Amino acid sequence: MAAITIPRATHGRAFRLRRLRGNILFALALLPFVVFALFPVYWMFITTFKQVNDLYNLQDNPLTFNLAPTLEQVTYLFQQTNYATWAVNTVEVGAVVVAITLFVCIPAAYVLARMRFPGSTSLGIGIFLTYLVPPTLLFLPLSQIMVGLGLINTKWALAVVYPTFTIPFCTWLLMGFFKSIPREITEAARVDGCSRFGALFRVVLPVSVPGLLTIVIFAFTLVMQEYVYGLTFVSASDQKLITLGVVTDLIRGDIFYWGSLMAGALIVAIPVAFVYNLFMDTFVRGITGGSLK
């Protein structure tokens, strides 16, 4: 017995050593990525709570608090700017964009993924090509249209424009999802007594909930994060959405309200990070869905 157990023990130790070395190498490989990703976020975080004098201090270690942390900058954000209004605007515009996107994309993606009628392929291509039109090309004519619609310099201009991004992308995304649902299920529903519409609403949509959620998230984060169109179409402070408001109203000429800027950004980023982590896998599957089978 002893003769057998001893070699096994040494083998075990060598094995453990090798594994330990592997783990250390692994951690060393991962570390730069974590630092690269985390450092700017940490920097934003600490900037948020630093006193202004601490920010512009060339003597001491900038990575820690050299003066007592303060909520001054956060308070400033909420009391001296329209931050709350921007947040409300973002939610309102987000809801409208999500609604338009769903209303337009669901039916289009369904028939383009499932049906063949004269011109169906070209229509699908046409919708998708929209994604390629450079935004800079559209700014000027679009702003004229917004003037015509009486929406210029209001948040609703953005609610009307953002779907031009979300529609091509989300149609594409949903097409992949719908493709992966067996055709026979909708046919069974139609034989069971559903119209074509009925089959879509009673069977296809309930099965596609992850795909629909992905779209909602995509549309909403786009509204939360978009900057360039906002910059072009909206200048009234009380009409801005959150990102634009933070980036424009907290930089006055050469003066940057660093702490408040970072605070405003982090308040947006944290919920988004949370939601993304929940839905990342579905999102990725949505984008790549059609190409992986």
Partner 1 sequence: MATVRLEHIYKKFGDVIAVNDLSLEIRDEEFLVLVGPSGCGKTTALRMVAGLEEQTSGDIFIGDRLVNDVPPKDRDIAMVFQNYALYPHMDVTDNLSFGLKLWHVVRDEIKRRIEDAARMLGIDRLLQRKPRELSGGQRQRVALGRAIVREPKVFLMDEPLSNLDAKLRVQTRADLLKLHQRVKTTTIYVTHDQVEAMTMGDRIAVMRDGLLQQLDTPEGLYASPANLFVAGFIGSPPMNFFRGTVRQVDGQTMVDTGSVRVPLPPRVAGGAARAALGREVVYGIRPEDIEAQNGTGGWPVRANIEVVEYLGNEVQVHANVQGVTFVARLSPRAGARVGEDLPLSLHTERAHVFDAKTEDAISG
Partner 2 sequence: MAEVERSVSDVARTTAVARARAQLSPRERIGRLLENEAVFGYLMVAPAILYILILVGYPFAIALWFTVSDATVSQPIGPFTGLTNLKFVLDDEVFKRALANTFVFTISSQLIQMVFGTMLAFLLLRHFRGRRLIRAIVMLPFTVPVAVGAIAWQWMLNPTYSVVNWVGAQLGFFPMLGGPNWLGEEQYAMISIIVVNVWRNLPFTAIVLTAGISSIPQEILEAASLDGAGWLTRWRKIMAPIIAPIIYIALLFSLVFTFTDMTVVWLLTKGSPVNSTHVIASYAFVTGVISGGLGRGAAMSLFLFPVLLVGALMLLRNLKARTLD
Binding to partner 2 (CB under 8 A) within 158-217 occurs at 160-161, 163-164, 167-168, 171-172, 175-176, 179, 195-197
The binder of 273, among partner 1, partner 2, none, by C-beta within 5 to 8 A per type, is: partner 2
Whether 86 and 240 have beta carbons less than 8 Å apart is answered as yes
By CB under 8 A, tell whether 224 contacts partner 2: yes
What is the smallest separation between the CB atom of 278 and partner 2, expressed in angstroms? 10
Report how far residue 267's alpha carbon sits from residue 83's, in angstroms, rounded to the nearest whole number: 11
By CB under 8 A, tell whether 245 contacts partner 2: no
Three-class secondary structure of residue 235 per DSSP: coil
Scanning 115-239, the segments in alpha helix (DSSP H) are 120-129, 135-149, 155-161, 163-179, 183-192, 196-199, 205-207, 209-225, 228-233
Number of residues that bind partner 2 (CB under 8 A): 107
The binder of 103, among partner 1, partner 2, none, by C-beta within 5 to 8 A per type, is: partner 2
| Contacting residues for 123 by C-beta, under 8 A, at least 6 apart | 112
Question: Which residue has 């991962």 as its token pair?
Answer: 30
What is the smallest separation between the CB atom of 4 and partner 2, expressed in angstroms? 29
> For residue 82, what is the DSSP state?
-
β-partners of residue 256 are: 251
Three-class secondary structure of residue 256 per DSSP: strand
Whether 264 and 242 have beta carbons less than 8 Å apart is answered as yes
x/- letters, 110..149, toward partner 2 (CB under 8 A): xxxx-xxxx-xx-xxxxxxxxxxxxxxxxxxxx-xx----
The binder of 267, among partner 1, partner 2, none, by C-beta within 5 to 8 A per type, is: none
Return the number of the residue (5 or 64) whose C-beta is nearest partner 2. 64
Residues binding partner 1 (CB under 8 A): 182, 184-185, 187-195, 198, 202-203, 206-207
Report how far residue 23's alpha carbon sits from residue 244's, in angstroms, rounded to the nearest whole number: 44
Return the number of the residue (30 or 188) whose C-beta is nearest partner 1. 188
Hey, what amino acid is at 148?
A: G
The binder of 148, among partner 1, partner 2, none, by C-beta within 5 to 8 A per type, is: none
The binder of 127, among partner 2, partner 1, none, by C-beta within 5 to 8 A per type, is: partner 2
